Amino acid sequence: MTIPIEALYTNSRFPSGPSLFFLLLYTPLGIVIFIIRLFISLQLFLAAAVLPHNTVVRSVVLRVLYSVMGLVVREECRKNRDDTCRVIGTNHITPFDHLAVSIVLPCVTPSVYDLPGALSSLLCYQDLGVTQGREILRANARNYLSNPNNPPLLLHPEGATTSGKLALMKYGSWALELNGSVLVAGIRVRRLPILPVAPSVLGASWAADLCFMLFSPVTLFTIKYVGKMSRKESESAEEFGVRVQAATASALQLHTSNHTVADKVEYMKRLAREAAAASNPMLSPQVHRMAQQVQEVLPHISLDRIKRDLVHTQNVDLTITNFLEGNVPEPVPEPQPAPSRVDPARVSPQSSDLRSSSPTATPLPSASAEVKSTVDRGEASDRRSHSAVSMSTAAKSFGKSASERMTSFETRKAQLIENARRRYIEKHGLTVPGYNC
């Protein structure tokens, strides 16, 4: 079964239909709950930060902290849980999956944020050099797991979050080759059916997900243990990843897919390009493609002018007709700055002496030279006026029948091509037999 990548993610945070009406009714109460939870969470957060680690009191305080935040955890298939595993592998839905797992199974996860040590420990993060590259991360993770006193390491082989409703992304092999065995578990995240606010959406930040978790009445995390899975001797890391992915998907009643983190990044880039094209139609790939077709017929017209007309017409033939008939207004030229004038009184006497004594100083033009220059300028002006007249391809009258209009169109098109050819020859000073020689 081929699953499109857009089906793996949620793009809208809010529901539709009757649920949206109940959400609007709940909003005032949700804002009050958000404020109360925010203040209580800050107090419990500070209390947990000063309590000693690995104590029962601190664990109770953290459990109360997460409950106040609306984070509730439920376990399924506890008989498959194996506390001897040093690596835990789960699917990934929200930025708070590791917090939900740490409530029932003490563990840490590699940190992708630059946080102080005490704050990282409180949030169950461990600095393993994620930003320094895959090899350094793998080496630091092996070094961390070599100490039996350290809590287990929780990893998300998918590498990125999904909606957790249809399918799992392809599991990366690096997360499963750190140790010989892995405790495999699946995570589901649910909220009240009457207020189904999405736990996480595509491109959302962890701060936004946290705010909506404090806003929602309850966020239920269900952890379903698949069991301990070990890599076989003749099995590669990639094959082991496929087997773990299939077991997790089967436990969660989901499908498997071959989409990776790189595919998600490309999908988000494509959505960003489409959003930019929607806000500015001239950036649309379709408009650019049609503009290139128009420029093949009218090469002397810039792409910007063609795109401006295509945004209104959305038709190649109609845009060509508009330019041929002169129905497209000329762009308003930008005002040019006035040429600076040199004040003779401000010219230093040294520069005047240098110009007068220079052997290459330009002599004053003679009367004959002035006459010749005047004649040349007159001829150039006549040529420019003649060129402007000959470049006009507008029809004198609009044809009454379709055949007359088509004939007029073909005539103007041929005249335009001939004018473009003549301008090209004159611009480059070419000598063409039968034309100018």
**Residue 139 main-chain phi, psi, to 5 deg:** -65, -45
d(CA 216, CA 276): 32
- Taking a C-beta distance cutoff of 8 angstroms, is the pair 165, 147 a contact? no
- The pLDDT confidence band at residue 394, using thresholds 50, 70 and 90, is low
The whole-number pLDDT of residue 220 equals 93
Min mean pLDDT across 24-33, 80-89, 281-290, 377-386 is at 377-386
- The pLDDT confidence band at residue 102, using thresholds 50, 70 and 90, is confident
- Report the percentage of the chain scoring pLDDT > 70: 79
Can you read off the two tokens belonging to residue 204? 């959302």
Give the three-state DSSP class for 230: strand
The pTM score is 0.65
**pLDDT exceeds cutoff 80 at 117:** no
- Name residues whose C-beta falls within 8 Å of residue 148's C-beta, 6 or more positions apart in sequence: none
Mean pLDDT calculated for residue range 307-321? 83
Please, where are the H alpha helices in 216-331?
237-252, 261-279, 285-297, 303-313, 316-324
Residue spans per domain, the chain: 5-271
Q: How far is CA 38 from CA 43, 201, 211, 215, 325, in A?
A: 9, 22, 9, 10, 66
Residue pLDDT, tens place only, 122-176: 778 888 888 787 888 888 888 988 888 888 999 999 989 999 999 999 998 887 8
DSSP state of 108: B
Residue pLDDT, tens place only, 243-282: 999 999 999 999 999 999 999 999 998 888 877 777 777 7
Give the three-state DSSP class for 182: strand
The whole-number pLDDT of residue 400 equals 67
The whole-number pLDDT of residue 215 equals 93
**pLDDT exceeds cutoff 80 at 31:** yes
d(CA 228, CA 250): 15
